[in-house]
Amino acid sequence: MNAIETTVPVDLAEAEVRVREALAEQGFGVLTEIDVAATLRTKIGVERDALKILGACNPHLAHRALEADPSASLMLPCNVVLEAVPGGTRVAIADPRELMPGEEMADLASEAAGKLQAVAEALGAG
């Protein structure tokens, strides 16, 4: 799957703070949070590098998507993945244009992708 990606030269905790701030500037809030590394350690005793999934949602865009097609709920919220990599944290955001194909969602998906691209760009500027 194509993603909107950037790598920031900070640890995952600092990257998460920056990601949340950049998302908020674009009208997104974080609805869900999954610490994959902690879950795997607790549930099956596997140690892995830090990996966290934030479920981000822009309520205005979500409402418009649901009005256009109630099954859009299958794609909400939008996953933002933070993964520890050498030298920093990789941030990968699910590209709404991949998740919402079709002509009826094209404009909305492009608008959402633009906002999420702005998030990635803000992280690169930080």
pLDDT at residue 84 in the model:
95
CATH number at residue 39: 3.30.310.70
Pick the more confident residue, 91 or 124: 91
- Asked if pLDDT for residue 123 goes beyond 60, the answer is yes
Pick the more confident residue, 115 or 104: 115
Supply 20's token pair: 């949340």
The domain of 112 spans 3-125
Helix axes 59-68, 103-125, angle to 10 degrees: 160
pLDDT at residue 9 in the model:
96
Supply 27's token pair: 């009208």
Pick the more confident residue, 38 or 125: 38
Give the pLDDT confidence of 75-102 residue by residue, as tens digits.
889 999 999 999 999 999 999 998 887 7
pLDDT confidence of 126, banded at 50, 70, 90?
A: low
User: Residue 15 has what DSSP assignment?
Assistant: H
52-56, 57-61, 96-100 — which is least confidently predicted? Answer: 96-100
Are the CB atoms for 61 and 76 separated by under 8 Å?
no
Give the pLDDT confidence of 35-50 residue by residue, as tens digits.
999 999 999 999 999 9
3-state secondary structure of 56: strand
- Measured between alpha carbons, how far is 35 from 56 in angstroms, rounded to an integer? 15
Per residue in 13-27, is it b (16+ CB within 10 Å) or e — as a string? Answer: eebbebbbebbeebe
- The domain tally of the chain equals 1
